């Protein structure tokens, strides 16, 4: 209820003009942040560059592990899906896949499983961690889990940015022509009112 009251107060002050905005920002700056929320860190080219760097680190670490872990990590990187169709961009749907093998019967072949939000890859490597016999491999697996979690966070940020950008573009495709049409109707209304008044 308090957020609603602050939003109403903000609207009232904004309607009185630029001085109202200045007074509101100076007096209730914390409430202004509730009304106008700017994302803390929009996805940038730096995020994509860091994603490539993390991919290289993950491949390097996975190469020093069990072949099943190496296959899972490599396939999760190669089968990560970003963007896609308009509907997938707007919904943020993640169709990433992961190739895993049964460690007890490696000759049985590999199978594809869903890797939504990269969680399956993280779980696969994390489940391998307590079953390792070598301390060196355990340290590498721990580093690999850290890299995969960081990669998951960056992918979430990039997907969110793609989704919000898609919704903004869709809104602009609807809003701009509608606004132009309404301005035209308003101009025609004013003109007709003066002509026939």
pLDDT by residue (tens digit) across 57-67?
999 999 999 89
Write down the pTM of the prediction: 0.70
User: Does one domain contain both 34 and 49?
Assistant: no
Cβ(9)–Cβ(31) below 8 Å: yes
Confidence of residue 25 (pLDDT cuts 50, 70, 90): low
What is the C-alpha separation between 40 and 31, in angstroms, rounded?
Answer: 17
What does the pLDDT read at residue 4?
Answer: 52
User: Does one domain contain both 13 and 33?
Assistant: yes
What does the pLDDT read at residue 43?
Answer: 58
User: Does one domain contain both 61 and 129?
Assistant: yes
User: Does one domain contain both 121 and 159?
Assistant: yes
User: Does one domain contain both 102 and 17?
Assistant: no
User: Does one domain contain both 129 and 96?
Assistant: yes
Confidence of residue 139 (pLDDT cuts 50, 70, 90): very high
Arithmetic mean of pLDDT, 166-173: 93
What does the pLDDT read at residue 15?
Answer: 54
Q: What are phi and psi of 112, to 5 degrees?
A: -90, 135
68 pLDDT higher than 80: yes
Nearest alpha-carbon partner for 166 in 59, 91, 93? 91
Q: What are phi and psi of 156, to 5 degrees?
A: -60, -45
User: Does one domain contain both 93 and 152?
Assistant: yes
What does the pLDDT read at residue 163?
Answer: 93
User: Does one domain contain both 52 and 134?
Assistant: yes
Q: Which residue has the higher pLDDT, 183 or 33?
A: 183
Number of domains in the chain: 2
User: Does one domain contain both 14 and 49?
Assistant: no
What does the pLDDT read at residue 16?
Answer: 53
User: Does one domain contain both 82 and 27?
Assistant: no
User: Does one domain contain both 58 and 150?
Assistant: yes
What is the C-alpha separation between 118 and 156, in angstroms, rounded?
Answer: 9
Would you mind telling me the total number of residues written for the chain in this entry? 197
- What is the Cα 96 distance to its own chain's centre? 14
Arithmetic mean of pLDDT, 17-33: 51
Q: Which residue has the higher pLDDT, 40 or 137?
A: 137
Name the DSSP letter for residue 105.
Answer: -
182 pLDDT higher than 60: yes
User: Does one domain contain both 49 and 3?
Assistant: no
Could you tell me the residue range of the domain that residue 78 belongs to?
A: 45-164
What does the pLDDT read at residue 8?
Answer: 59
């Amino acid at each position: 209820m308090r957020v609603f009251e602050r939003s109403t107060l903000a609207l009232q002050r904004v309607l009185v003009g630029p001085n109202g905005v200045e007074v509101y920002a100076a007096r209730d700056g914390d409430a202004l942040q509730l009304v106008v929320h700017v994302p803390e860190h929009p996805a940038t080219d730096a995020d994509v560059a860091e994603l490539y760097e993390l991919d290289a680190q993950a491949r390097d670490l996975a190469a020093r592990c069990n072949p099943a872990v190496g296959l899972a990590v490599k396939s999760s990187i190669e089968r990560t899906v970003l963007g896609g169709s308009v509907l997938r961009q707007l919904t943020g749907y993640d169709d990433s896949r992961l190739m895993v093998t049964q460690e007890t019967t490696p000759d049985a072949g590999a199978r594809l499983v869903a890797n939504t939000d990269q969680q399956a890859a993280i779980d696969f490597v994390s489940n391998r961690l307590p079953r390792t016999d070598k301390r060196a491999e355990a340290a590498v697996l721990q580093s690999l889990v850290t890299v995969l979690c960081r990669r998951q966070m960056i992918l979430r940020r990039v997907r969110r940015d793609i989704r919000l950008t898609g919704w903004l573009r869709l809104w602009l495709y609807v809003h701009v022509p509608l606004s132009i049409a309404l301005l035209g109707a308003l101009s025609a209304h004013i003109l007709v009112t003066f002509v026939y008044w």
